[in-house]
Every structure is written in C-alpha cells, then in structure tokens.
C-alpha cells in the first residue's frame, strides 16, 4: 500500500511597488479572485502600501464612524471607499503593511481563518519582543490596550478569500483621530515604531510577515 505524500500548497507572493491607490488594489483583487476560482492562478498573497484612504466595511450601518464625514476627510487629502469587506471604518496609508490573501480555503471555517491571520501578526510582533493579543469580542490584533492591526475579509463562492489585514508599522496615527476606528471607541491605535520607540524598516517587517504567512498557510 502506497501512501500519498502531502505536498505544500503553492503560494505566490506579489509585492505592489510604491503607493497603490485603493481602487487599483481592489480591482486587482477582484481579478485574482476570478482567476483563483477557476484555478487560473495558485493561492496568492498581495502586499502593498496605500496613499491615505478611509474604507468602510459591511458591518457599518451608516457613516457615523467617519467622524465629520466624507467631505471633510476628502478635504484632508484622503480618499473614501465603501468596501465589500467585513468590518467597519478604518484608515490605510503610508507606513502601513496591507496584506490581501487570495486563498482557496481547505478548512471551511471563517473564524479559524481570522484567528490564523491574527496569529501571523501576533507572531511578527513577538519577533520584536512585543506581546500581541486577540480581543475575544473584536477581530484584529492589540498591543496593551491599543489596536495595532485591523482585519476585514470577504469570502467568495468556492471559499476564495480576499481583502485582509493592515499592520501599522510607522503609520501617521493622527489620521485615525478623525474616525472611530473599526467602530470601537474604548481602544486607541498604535504602531510598531511607537511601541518600540524607534524607526522600523517597512521592508524588514514585510519579510517577517511573508515568512510567518507562508509558514501558516503553506
């Protein structure tokens, strides 16, 4: 009797150069989801940085968490998008690593997938001596009493994932002051550089994110 060997899943890593407009990354995700659904590409992990943009997910009942409103936020130089991901309002901008996994889930458990994404980021924080944790009532990752990473995903038929996470590395956190991030009022936000009180290389952190992501999902 011959036993089949379990072979690791192939995951293609795509790094988008420079600052990628949110609409461009969103269109790319939609195209990749269609290809993955038809097995036109392997599982894919897209990494990018966005210019200043506020996005609102499906959990938002209205624009209440956008602070003074879309017009005001656009006047500050940020874009605003109503997205089809889960979650509420958040900010993306320079100094933040945004990851968009386009995966066909083998284990069809949405909660398990979210916990695995959180685990990847908690592991990266651990590499820097920080204790990240998952709040039992909210999705995302915290350090102390402040949120350092937001997560909002979408599951398409065929159990294909899209959207993903945003990890604050050296983000200008004042952008978050204009909204209620993720609709959570009782917690503030933080970044890796603030917690370590030093400048952090975005490329260095990205390498750690990719390493832990591949170890988890491949």
Numbered residues of the known binding site: 85-92, 150-152, 164-166
Active site annotation includes 182: yes
Binding-site entries for substrate: 85-92, 150-152, 164-166
| Three-class SS state of 89 | strand
- Residue in the structure block whose two tokens are 């990266």: 124
Provide the 10 A C-beta neighbour count for residue 168: 28
Active-site choice (169, 182, 192, 210): 182
Give the tokens for residue 33: 């989801």
DSSP string, 90-154: EEE-TTEEEEEEE-B-SS--HHHHHHHHHHHHHHHHHHTT--EE--TTSSSEEETTEEEEEEEEE
Is the CA virtual torsion 194, 195, 198, 202 positive or negative?
Answer: negative
Q: How many helices (H) and strands (E) does the chain have?
A: 5, 11
Contact 74, 80 (CB under 8 A): yes
Provide the 10 A C-beta neighbour count for residue 55: 24
Q: Which residues are catalytic?
A: 182
């Amino acid at each position: 009797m011959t036993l089949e060997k379990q072979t690791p899943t192939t995951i293609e890593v795509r790094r988008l150069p420079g600052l990628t407009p949110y609409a461009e990354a969103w269109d790319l995700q939609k195209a990749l989801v269609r290809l993955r659904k038809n097995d036109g590409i392997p599982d894919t992990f897209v990494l990018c940085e966005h210019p200043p943009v506020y996005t609102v997910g499906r959990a938002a009942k209205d624009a209440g968490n956008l602070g003074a409103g879309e017009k005001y936020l656009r006047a500050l130089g940020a874009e605003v998008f109503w997205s089809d991901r889960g979650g509420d309002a958040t900010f993306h901008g320079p100094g933040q690593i945004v990851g968009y996994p386009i995966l066909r889930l083998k284990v069809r458990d949405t909660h398990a997938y979210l916990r695995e994404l959180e685990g990847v980021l908690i592991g990266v924080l651990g590499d820097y001596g920080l204790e990240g944790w998952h709040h039992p009532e909210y999705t995302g990752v915290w350090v102390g009493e402040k949120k350092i990473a937001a997560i909002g995903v979408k599951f398409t038929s065929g159990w294909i994932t899209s959207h993903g996470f945003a990890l604050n590395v050296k983000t200008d956190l004042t952008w978050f002051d204009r909204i209620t991030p993720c609709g959570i009022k009782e917690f503030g936000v933080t970044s890796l550089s603030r917690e370590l009180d030093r400048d952090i290389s975005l490329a260095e952190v990205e390498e750690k994110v990719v390493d832990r992501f591949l170890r988890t999902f491949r």
